[in-house]
Structure 1
């Protein structure tokens, strides 16, 4: 589903993640700790999420773009599972500590199954890519 370029930019760029309440009230936040696990799965370290986490607990749908959407014009959509223990949680705790020992320890691992990818490129915006 995701190609090599998409996976590389997700790991290198800050992402802007959108969630919503079941009633449709949106929330968008910047995320620094985000990376692909494979061509269909992305993981986020949840160290600060409050509204986004509450939204995902009641509505597991998520969308995100990378910071430099002009150069990397992709929108990713999917569904999440939240882990507060186990393999995925241990992975994000180690990842954050290895990257920045002063960063707060994550509260959860947010695992995204990518379901759709769209272009946000001028002229192609809204075109489904995968």
Structure 2
């Protein structure tokens, strides 16, 4: 399993590892994607990809599922440009926040599935009932940046 890089946007975090370089992101001890499970699974998400001509493409999505300590699964119900982008450049970014402005930015790489385990998974989650579930996007998280 790849080691995740965690970064804080504030020096106020007590978990900060001494000696880290703030300009490159402050590493945080003992934080995992699982700590953001409720935030991620219960709120809409802004999901960003990069187009072929290096322009940002951002969509809103829902129904994200944390499937491991460093993987998030999204459903492709109505995506088009986003899938094209992932197939050309798999670098992605997600951001999610709640009504109290607690949020997180997540950076990683995406893989798109139209068959197999992950496609079956998204077809069978209750939130996708009655929706097309055309594919599954598995995001391997490389960096987590909390907003506060």
Normalising by structure 2, what TM-score?
A: 0.72
> Residue 4 of structure 1: CA displacement?
3.6
Tell me if 1:65 matches 2:92: no
Aligned length: 118
1:110 aligns with 2:140: no
In the alignment, what sits opposite 1:99? 127
Q: 2:84 aligns with which of 54, 71, 76?
A: 54
Mapping of 1:23-34 within 5 angstroms?
A: 23-34=53-64
| 1:40 paired residue number | 70
- Using the alignment, how far apart are the partners of 1:87 and 1:78 within structure 2? 20
Contact 2:33 2:70 (8 Å CA) reproduced: no
2:97–2:104 CA contact under 8 A, matched in 1? no
Instruction: Name the TM-score, length of structure 1 as normaliser.
Output: 0.82
CA deviation map 1:48-70 (0-9, x unaligned): 11111111110101101114285
SS at match of 1:90: helix
CA contact (8 A) 2:41 2:64 kept: yes
- With 20-29 and 38-47 compared, the bigger mean Cα shift is at 20-29
Where does residue 124 of structure 1 map in the other structure?
none
Q: 1:70 to 1:62 in 2, by over 3 A?
A: farther
Runs (5+) with no aligned partner, structure 2 = 5-31
Task: Select the structure of larger CA radius of gyration.
Answer: 2
Please give the secondary structure, in 2, of the residue aligned with 1:11: helix
